């Protein structure tokens, strides 16, 4: 092995639990890393799933402090979770895709050695993604707090139940809405759930946030795009269902009640996402949204 | 009072519980009816809310057999519930609107004497609305059954959770879908929840059913309109969340699990809805969807 | 060659002009037909493009009377044109696809001998498609008349110009609209231009017509589906642009002026479209709309 | 009259031609201005429509140099035209609304004296709006050039004709598209034509541009929002219709042919739009989009 200076020295490994394919890829990744001049740190839950003796094992919360790169094996969902957990430490993430289409995690399992090798040799590209943070208040008491890389969703708890809430942006009243929910999405989230919900695609470099009513009663409701510095306050009306909740990336739920309110704003710390080479957003859209397919039947 | 022959002889009264405004209108309605040559039957729960001594009191389930007209005081939601409960008896319903816009219940409270009087005198118009019925199967065992005037919704139980299911229409495979849910709507429902969900408006006289994916992952999914005789089978994949449910008119929920399936088809009995005069669907759309409002800002 | 009784005796051939690929397929088709016990009739314009001596040559307008089957080589666009021209004669059409996706024309060029052979041997399936007909009036004078298999579009003549018109259905006033245009689509058209314009997919067996405002100013405008027997009257306001037109299948344009009106209704004669075997509408949607593709990026 | 120092000294007046209501408001405006210590300059075409002797008359092109405020009487359409013509001179515009909803021109005719008075006294608020500029190339020759406050639309010349083009953003290939057109909209335009076309609402302070396919064949096409510094290149394929055009604010058309291309970018000069007081974007949306109206028919 050539004595090149590697770009990263302590590499963390986190795998999505419960999948044989992930276990295979974690093994392959570990096999690759143990021959390199890097210290490898495996997340405790991942280590339990893929027993190896040689590596240091840490709780996920500790990995942010020890690693200067964390490789996540799973899909975009796994990356969302790790991003929320480690974003405060500023450690960059690299995703091996073992899930669906993989916007965030886009290294294919068969390319592990080649792509991870390139990254460790310093041939990589960092894309910064901002997260949203939400604080939930009951009166002046904070009853919950979380963050999201894709979207924060205030919802009635069940799809077939309506809720009523008021939206304020930077303390300006926007509207009272009857809807199943309200989604606040980052540019990163604009190609995920928000896209299913009828939102526009936002270029990742744009400092903007999208507000999307979900099945609104008001037929004139439309997606709204505002600046990244906006602060959102969503106040639940007093007539709401009892099961309302605030959902972060569809992974963390905070129960809310009538009269509670949530404040959503951009989180200061950014996620640093590593791609093994220059990464074209439009290439990615074309291949992942299948923009080449066309309708027949028209002249 | 003139000795005219009335069109109806036994008039039931049902009011939405829990609203002072409804109580007022029920009183006013009862006051009007007691001067007419009709027998008045009050639903037991309604009677408890608006105590009157002179009238016969029955459980709702009994009213279908005894009444030849039932007046519902509430909003469209109340009418949906009464419709499901009484449709098998064929008794026509007349709605006094104490709710929102009132597509189904469109007599205004201040017009009770005038409009109800007209109807009793035989000046009315009957609009037939078909319902959907759903049977839910776990293996070959029926685990639930209900009906809906607006829509039947198969959903993941929570808005931010995806589900996976297969749709068959008349035993033909249509698609596997990842989505938050799937809605099957009647023409009546096409101006309600289905409209919020992006569905087309279906003329009430058209024998057709709409299928609407809710936040589908597949960007090419579109609303689908098929004949009223179609039978739908929705099979939940084995990987689904545990809280999936089938919701009828957002009022009745049937819990379902991985591998269960639902069969949805048109119900044989039709709801007979009474309007005090010739009722124009397009007039109603124009006033209720506010089709006169226009955007500025274009030349 | 086996002496089977063929299902058709006089087979017409029409090819789209101006394409080498169409010429190749027409030659191949003619080569196949000349060995069979059928009389072959070639459209005059097609014959000029693919000179052969042995076959009878007729103007397209004559072919409807002489043929009991017409094979169209081209794409869906070619079939739309032939359908409008020959529908009154009741002759069934069979399409060889040399265009885009091919909803209507779905025999692949490499399957000509096999599929056309099957059809001639009586193994085929006929799908009936209704057309719309439009009559355009200036006062009580008819100034234009045409028909459409997909859609009839009243438009301002240019995409960036708005028009104003009133819509009546069965003599009931529906709305005044400011928009770039109004589309009236058959179920057949619902997977073509109407789908791009946000309309629902209508099952081909449903006797229904879709009304679609095009870029309406009124944000509450929605696609409207009504029964196949509806008669539509679209009246241009007196303030319109001078270039307004009525377009049939994007192939025939009838210029209209302020104050003119158009009447659109179902045409009595149906197009008989032949498929070489049982044809599943849902299979076709799945493959042509690419319903298997899914978004990534969601959990 | 009090001797206050006015905020503006030379006030231009431009009215939309051909409307009696505009003539009335121009007269009223001129009557108000002639009692103030301002020099009044009337556009030549406007002066011809509203003859007054006392005022200086100039061609529109000259007014930008002479005026430090121009009052436009008409609707948003009139303001769009004046904005394109005068934006290079940096003169702020004030709109009296004699058109439709009036996002840009929002002083009501009956408030002329009061509101114009306030503005002249220095009680006003300036909102900056960026424009787009387009250059059209045939080979390396510029064949047209214009600008737009709302949107630039590349279209096939007629609504029912498709075109084919390639889109590049900042020299990155985005997609080849078959569609009726492609719209590129400013935040200002996002509440106008772009909103009818399914685009999101963009807050006026956001430095962003929206790309909207118009009736695309590709069902996965979605609105795309990118940064305000993006440069767009739209290349017409060689197969297009001969009537394609580039339309600016639906007011200026530049004909284009197969193989031509257009470059669209933000214009350096901003439109300064004056409002008589602090102007809330969300208030304006609520009142102009009628966000208080709600659907009935759902529980």
Residue A96 — φ and ψ, nearest 5°?
Answer: -100, 125
Note the pLDDT tens digit of each residue in D263-273: 999 999 999 99
pLDDT band, residue A5 (cuts 50/70/90): low
Q: Residues D76, D106, D249, D260: which is the catalytic one?
A: D76
Average pLDDT in the D5-24 region? 90
pLDDT band, residue A297 (cuts 50/70/90): very low
Contact D70, D94 (CB under 8 A): yes
User: What is the β-pairing status of strands A151-155 and A141-148?
Assistant: unpaired
pLDDT at A163 over 70: yes
Burial string for C8-36 (b: 16+ CB within 10 Å, else e) reads bebbbbbbbeebeebbebbebbbebbeeb
| Of the listed ranges A10-19, D97-106, D248-257, the one predicted with least confidence | D97-106
What's the confidence (pLDDT) of residue C155?
93
- Which H or E element spans position D32? helix D20-33
Distance of CA C78 to the CA centre of its chain: 8
What's the confidence (pLDDT) of residue A229?
97
Kindly report the average pLDDT of chain A as a whole number: 90
| Of the listed ranges A35-49, B169-183, C151-165, the one predicted with least confidence | C151-165
| Of the listed ranges A52-56, A119-123, A217-221, D9-13, the one predicted with least confidence | A52-56
Q: Do A250 and C192 touch (CB under 8 A)?
A: no
Query: Residue written as tokens 């009936």?
Result: C128
What's the confidence (pLDDT) of residue A288?
82
pLDDT at B273 over 90: yes
Measure the CA–CA gap between A87 and D172, rounded to whole angstroms: 30
Average pLDDT in the C242-253 region? 91
What's the confidence (pLDDT) of residue A35?
87
Which tokens hold the place of A106? 């886009």
Please enumerate in sequence order all residues whose Cβ is within 8 A of that of B31, keeping only pairs 6 or more positions apart, or say none: none
What's the confidence (pLDDT) of residue C278?
67
What's the confidence (pLDDT) of residue B2?
43
Higher pLDDT, C82 or D240: C82
As annotated, the active-site residues of C are 76
Note the pLDDT tens digit of each residue in D86-117: 999 999 999 999 877 677 888 899 999 999 99
pLDDT band, residue C1 (cuts 50/70/90): very low
Nearest residue of C to residue D100 by CA position? C217
Neighbours of chain B (3+ CB pairs under 8 A): A, C, D
Contact C201, B226 (CB under 8 A): no
CA distance C54 to chain B (A): 46
Measure the CA–CA gap between C48 and C30, rounded to whole angstroms: 14
Residue A252 β-bridge partners: A248
pLDDT at C231 over 90: yes
Average pLDDT in the C253-267 region? 95
Burial string for D43-76 (b: 16+ CB within 10 Å, else e) reads beebbebbebeebeebebebbbeebbbbbbbbbb
Q: pLDDT exceeding 90 applies to what percent of chain B?
A: 73
CATH for B131-268 (1.10.760.10, 2.60.200.30, 1.10.3720.10, 3.10.310.30): 2.60.200.30
Higher pLDDT, B243 or D136: D136
What's the confidence (pLDDT) of residue B269?
96
Which tokens hold the place of B61? 């389930």
What's the confidence (pLDDT) of residue D241?
63
What's the confidence (pLDDT) of residue C23?
92
Measure the CA–CA gap between B144 and A160, rounded to whole angstroms: 18
What's the confidence (pLDDT) of residue B298?
43
Nearest to B196 among A193, A215, A247 (CB): A215
pLDDT at C2 over 50: no
What's the confidence (pLDDT) of residue B98?
87
For residue C220, what are the CA distances in angstroms to A54, A212, D24, D195?
64, 17, 34, 12
D76 flagged as catalytic: yes
Angle at D223 between CA D220 and CA D227, to 5 degrees: 135
pLDDT at D2 over 50: no
Q: Do C196 and D179 touch (CB under 8 A)?
A: yes
pLDDT band, residue A53 (cuts 50/70/90): low
pLDDT at C296 over 70: no
Average pLDDT in the B158-176 region? 91
Note the pLDDT tens digit of each residue in C187-229: 999 999 999 999 999 999 999 999 999 999 888 899 999 999 9
pLDDT band, residue A50 (cuts 50/70/90): confident
Note the pLDDT tens digit of each residue in D155-212: 988 777 889 999 999 999 999 999 999 999 999 999 999 999 999 999 999 999 999 9
For residue A39, what are the CA distances in angstroms to A164, B200, D191?
52, 59, 55
* HEC readout, B106-133: CECHHHHHHHHHHHHCCCCEEEEEEEEE
Would you list the domain boundaries of chain C?
Answer: 10-123+277-295, 131-268
pLDDT at C297 over 50: no
What's the confidence (pLDDT) of residue B299?
39
What's the confidence (pLDDT) of residue A252?
93
What's the confidence (pLDDT) of residue B66?
95
Note the pLDDT tens digit of each residue in B10-53: 999 999 998 889 999 999 999 999 888 899 999 999 999 887 66
Which tokens hold the place of C245? 């037109």
Q: Residues B76, B106, B249, B260: which is the catalytic one?
A: B76
Q: Does the beta carbon of A217 lie under 8 angstroms from any beta carbon of chain B? A: yes
What's the confidence (pLDDT) of residue C288?
83
Query: Residue written as tokens 């009090």?
Result: D2
What's the confidence (pLDDT) of residue A4?
53
CA distance C99 to chain B (A): 21
- Most B CBs within 10 Å: which of A146, A160, A163, as the mutation test of the B interface? A160
pLDDT at D52 over 80: no
pLDDT at C104 over 90: no
What's the confidence (pLDDT) of residue C240?
63
What's the confidence (pLDDT) of residue B196?
93
pLDDT at C299 over 50: no
CA distance A25 to chain D (A): 32
Measure the CA–CA gap between A91 and A272, rounded to whole angstroms: 7
Give the total residue count for chain B: 299
Range list of H helices, C20-111:
20-33, 44-49, 60-66, 76-86
Q: Does the beta carbon of A231 lie under 8 angstroms from any beta carbon of chain D? A: no
Nearest to D155 among C160, C179, C214 (CB): C160
What's the confidence (pLDDT) of residue C51?
74
Which residues does chain B have within 8 Å of residue D99's beta carbon, measured at their own beta carbons? Answer: 296
| Of the listed ranges A217-231, A265-279, C262-276, the one predicted with least confidence | A265-279
pLDDT at D3 over 60: no
Kindly report the average pLDDT of chain B as a whole number: 90
What's the confidence (pLDDT) of residue A162?
85
What's the confidence (pLDDT) of residue B105?
84
Q: Where are the beta strands (DSSP E) in C171-228?
A: 172-179, 181-185, 201-202, 208-214, 224-227
Note the pLDDT tens digit of each residue in D64-78: 999 999 999 998 889
Higher pLDDT, A3 or D180: D180
Contact B93, B84 (CB under 8 A): no
Note the pLDDT tens digit of each residue in A186-208: 999 999 999 999 999 999 999 99
- Using a 10 angstrom Cβ sphere, with 0-12 exposed, 13-18 middle and 19 or more buried, the burial of residue C119 is buried
A vs C: CB pairs below 8 A:
98
| Of the listed ranges B126-130, B239-243, C171-175, the one predicted with least confidence | B239-243
What's the confidence (pLDDT) of residue D53?
65
What's the confidence (pLDDT) of residue A3?
45
Measure the CA–CA gap between D192 and C177, rounded to whole angstroms: 16
Kindly report the average pLDDT of chain D as a whole number: 90
Measure the CA–CA gap between C58 and C155, rounded to whole angstroms: 36
pLDDT at C18 over 70: yes
Note the pLDDT tens digit of each residue in B137-156: 999 999 999 999 999 999 98
pLDDT at D239 over 80: no
What's the confidence (pLDDT) of residue A287?
83
* Residue D258 DSSP class: T
Q: pLDDT exceeding 90 applies to what percent of chain D?
A: 73
Note the pLDDT tens digit of each residue in C49-101: 887 667 999 999 999 999 999 999 998 889 999 999 999 999 999 999 987 76
Q: Do D299 and B196 touch (CB under 8 A)?
A: no
Q: Where are the beta strands (DSSP E) in C35-187?
A: 39-43, 56-58, 69-74, 93-97, 125-138, 141-148, 151-155, 163-169, 172-179, 181-185
Nearest to C203 among B200, B226, B289 (CB): B226
Q: Does the beta carbon of A263 lie under 8 angstroms from any beta carbon of chain D? A: no
pLDDT at A293 over 80: no
Q: Which CATH architecture has domain D10-123+277-295?
A: 3-Layer(aba) Sandwich (3.40)
Q: Where are the beta strands (DSSP E) in chain A?
A: 10-15, 39-43, 56-58, 69-74, 93-97, 125-138, 141-148, 151-155, 163-169, 172-179, 181-185, 201-202, 208-214, 224-227, 232-236, 245-248, 252-255, 261-275
Measure the CA–CA gap between B180 and B164, rounded to whole angstroms: 8
What's the confidence (pLDDT) of residue B73?
95
Q: Does the beta carbon of B80 lie under 8 angstroms from any beta carbon of chain D? A: yes
Q: Do B222 and D219 touch (CB under 8 A)?
A: yes
Measure the CA–CA gap between A204 and A29, rounded to whole angstroms: 29
Note the pLDDT tens digit of each residue in C174-183: 999 999 999 9
């Amino acid at each position: 092995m050539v004595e090149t200076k590697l770009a990263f020295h302590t590499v963390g490994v986190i795998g999505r639990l419960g999948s044989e394919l992930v276990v295979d890829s974690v093994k392959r990744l570990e096999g690759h890393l143990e021959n390199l001049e890097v210290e490898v740190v495996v997340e405790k839950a991942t280590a339990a799933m893929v027993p190896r003796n040689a590596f240091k094992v840490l709780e996920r919360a500790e990995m942010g402090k020890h690693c200067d790169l964390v490789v996540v094996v799973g899909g975009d969902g796994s990356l969302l979770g790790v991003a929320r957990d480690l974003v405060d430490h500023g450690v960059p993430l690299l995703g091996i895709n073992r899930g669906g289409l993989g916007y965030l995690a886009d290294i294919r399992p068969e390319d592990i050695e080649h792509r991870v090798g390139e990254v460790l040799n310093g041939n990589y590209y960092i894309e910064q993604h901002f997260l949203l943070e939400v604080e939930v208040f009951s009166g002046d008491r904070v009853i919950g707090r979380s963050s999201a890389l894709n979207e924060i969703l205030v919802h009635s708890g069940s799809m077939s139940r309506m809720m009523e809430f008021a939206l304020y942006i930077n303390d300006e009243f926007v509207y009272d809405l009857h809807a199943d929910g309200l989604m606040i999405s980052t540019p990163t989230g604009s190609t995920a759930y928000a896209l299913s919900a009828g939102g526009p695609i936002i270029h990742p470099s744009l400092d903007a946030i999208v507000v999307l009513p979900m099945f609104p009663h008001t037929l004139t409701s439309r997606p709204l795009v505002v600046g990244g510095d906006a602060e959102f306050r969503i106040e639940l009306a007093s007539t709401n269902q009892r099961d309302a909740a605030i959902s972060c990336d569809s992974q963390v739920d905070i129960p809310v009640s009538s009269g509670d309110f949530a404040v959503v704003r951009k989180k200061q710390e950014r996620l640093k996402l590593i791609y093994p080479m220059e990464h074209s957003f439009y290439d990615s859209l074309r291949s992942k949204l299948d923009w080449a397919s066309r309708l027949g039947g028209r002249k």
